[in-house]
Structure 1
Amino acid sequence: MTPAVDSVAVPPRGHRVRQTIEQLRARILGGEWPVGGRIPTEPQLVAALGVGRNTVREAVRALVHAGVLECRQGSGTYVVSTDELAPVVARRLTDDRMAEVIEVRRAFEVEAARLAALRRTPADLAALGGALAAREAAWRAGRVDGFVEADAALHTAVVAAAHNTMLAELYASVGAALRSTVAQAMGDTLEPERYVDHGRLVAAIRDGDPARAAIEAGAFLEAPSGA
C-alpha cells in the first residue's frame, strides 16, 4: 500500500538545503567542479541531487553569498573558491594595502617557485611553457585585462607545479586580490617600462634549480610595480 504523502518522512526544508549545500561542497572539494569551472545547470542539479528546484536555488545562493560560487549573467554559475576564505581575504587585501599584498605574494610565490623546481613534471613544464607564451601574446595584444589574466594564469601554473594542495587552495583564495594589484600596477595601458620578463623564472623551474627559481620569483615582487 502506498503511504500517504503526509506520512512520508520528509526532512524540514532548512535541513534539505543544508544537506544540498554539503553535497555541492563535496563535489567542489573533490575536484568534480574545479575552481574556474562552471557547475551544472539548475535542472541538471535537481536531477543529480534528487531535490527540488527551490532547494537547489537556495543552496547555490548560499554558496554564492559565501564566495564559493559566482553567478555570471548569461553564462552560468562558476566555482571561484573551494572555501569561504576568498571573500574575507579580498576584503582585507584592498588596493590601499599594496605593500601587504606584495608581502603576501612573496610568501606564496617564492616558496611555490622553489617547490616547483623540485617537483615539476613534464605535464607541469608543458603547462608553464603554454602559460608563458600566452602571457607574452597577451602583452603584445596590448589589453590590460587580458594581460592581467594571462599573468595570473602563469603564476597559478607555478603554484600548481609545486604540488602542495594546501598552498594551491590558499593561493586560489587570494587570487582576485592579487590580480587587482597587477591591474593597478599596469594602469590603463601596457607601457614598455612596466614589462617584467618571467622567462627566467620558468627556465629556473625547468632546470630544476630551486634556489634560482626562488630568487627569480622574488625579484619582481620587490616593488609595487612587479607583476
Structure 2
Amino acid sequence: MTRTLNSPSSAPRRTLVRQVIEQLRGRIADGDWPLGGKIPTEPQLVETFGVGRNTVREAVRALVHAGVLECRQGSGTYVVSTDELSGAVGRRVADAKTAEVVEVRRAFEVEAARLAALRRTPEDLAALDRALAIREAAWRAGGVADFVSADVALHTTIMAAAHNAMLAELYVSVASAMWDTVAAAMGGELTPDRYVDHSRLVDAIRAGDPVRAAREAGAFLEAPDGA
C-alpha cells in the first residue's frame, strides 16, 4: 500500500514527524512489518516517505520510546509490539508478580465469560467449538508453544463472544503480553497435572448461564499456575 506525505516545504517539521509516526504505525498495523520482523533501514524509510533523515530518526525514536520498536546495535530496528498499549502492557507484565498477572486475567476473563453467556450468537458458539477443539488437539500433540497459543486463542474467542469492543481490544493487548507467563506456568512440558478442562466453561456459555460461566472462568485462575 502506497502512502504519501506532505513535502517538508508544506508542513512544519513537527507535523512531518507526527505524519511519519502514523505511517510507521500503519505499516505495522497492516502487517507489512510483522511482529518480530525488521523494519527497513533509515535510508529506505527516507526514500519511502520522502522526508529528511532527521525526521525519520525522530519518528523511529518515538516508537522505540513507546515500546513498539526496538533498536538492536549492529542488527537493525525490529517490531516488538503492534501498538503503544501492547508495548506498555508488555513492560508492565514483565515486571509484575505472577499473582498480579493472574488477578488481571481473572478480571478480564470472568466478566467476558459472563457477558458471552448472555450475548453469544450461533456463530460465536461455532467459533468456540473450533477453538476448543484446536486447544484439545494442541494438548494431545504435546507442544507447549502451540498449546499456549491455542489456549490464548480460545480465551480471545470468548472475549469476542462478549460483544464488548473495548473489552476485546484491551484483552488483545493484555493477552499478547501474557503468553510468556502462561508458558512459564505450564513448565517445559505438558503434564497431566497441569491440564485444565475448559469444556465446562464453553458449555456454560452455550447454555446461556452467566453465573456458571463466570464461576467456571474464575475457577482455573485461582492459583498462579492456572492456564
1:110 matched to 2:105 = no
Take 1:39 and 1:88, find their aligned partners in 2: how far apart are those partners?
A: 19
Matches of residues 39-58 of structure 1 in structure 2 within 5 Å? 51=50
Take 2:153 and 2:60, find their aligned partners in 1: how far apart are those partners?
A: 26
TM-superposed deviation, 1:119: 1.2
Q: Deviations over 1:83-112 (max 9, x none)?
A: x22222222223760111111011000000
Unmatched 5+ residue regions in structure 2? 1-7, 72-77
Identity of aligned residues (%): 66
Unmatched 5+ residue regions in structure 1? 1-7, 72-76
TM-superposed deviation, 1:21: 2.4
Matches of residues 49-198 of structure 1 in structure 2 within 5 Å? 51=50, 59=59, 62-63=62-63, 65-68=65-68, 80-82=81-83, 84-94=84-94, 97-198=97-198
Take 1:137 and 1:53, find their aligned partners in 2: how far apart are those partners?
A: 52
Q: Deviations over 1:161-191 (max 9, x none)?
A: 1111211122122223322221111100100
Contact conserved, 1:33 with 1:79, CA < 8 A, in 2? no
Contact conserved, 2:66 with 2:88, CA < 8 A, in 1? no
Rate the CA distance shift 1:131–1:166 in 2: closer, same or farther, 3 A: same
Rate the CA distance shift 1:96–1:67 in 2: closer, same or farther, 3 A: closer
Take 1:91 and 1:174, find their aligned partners in 2: how far apart are those partners?
A: 11
Q: 1:211 is matched by which residue type in structure 2?
A: V
Take 2:52 and 2:152, find their aligned partners in 1: how far apart are those partners?
A: 36
Q: 2:138 is matched by which residue type in structure 1?
A: A
Q: 1:87 is matched by which residue type in structure 2?
A: G
Partner of 2:215: 215
Structure 2 counterpart SS, 1:174: helix
Contact conserved, 1:38 with 1:79, CA < 8 A, in 2? no
Take 2:64 and 2:168, find their aligned partners in 1: how far apart are those partners?
A: 21
TM-superposed deviation, 1:12: 4.1
Q: Deviations over 1:181-223 (max 9, x none)?
A: 2111110010011000111111111121111110110010011
| Number of residues of Structure 1 aligned to a counterpart in Structure 2 | 207
Take 1:70 and 1:134, find their aligned partners in 2: how far apart are those partners?
A: 33
Rate the CA distance shift 1:39–1:129 in 2: closer, same or farther, 3 A: farther
TM-superposed deviation, 1:143: 0.9
Which shifted more, 55-64 or 114-123? 55-64
Take 1:131 and 1:178, find their aligned partners in 2: how far apart are those partners?
A: 18
Q: Cα RMSD between the aligned structures? A: 3.3
Rate the CA distance shift 1:158–1:15 in 2: closer, same or farther, 3 A: same
Contact conserved, 2:80 with 2:87, CA < 8 A, in 1? no
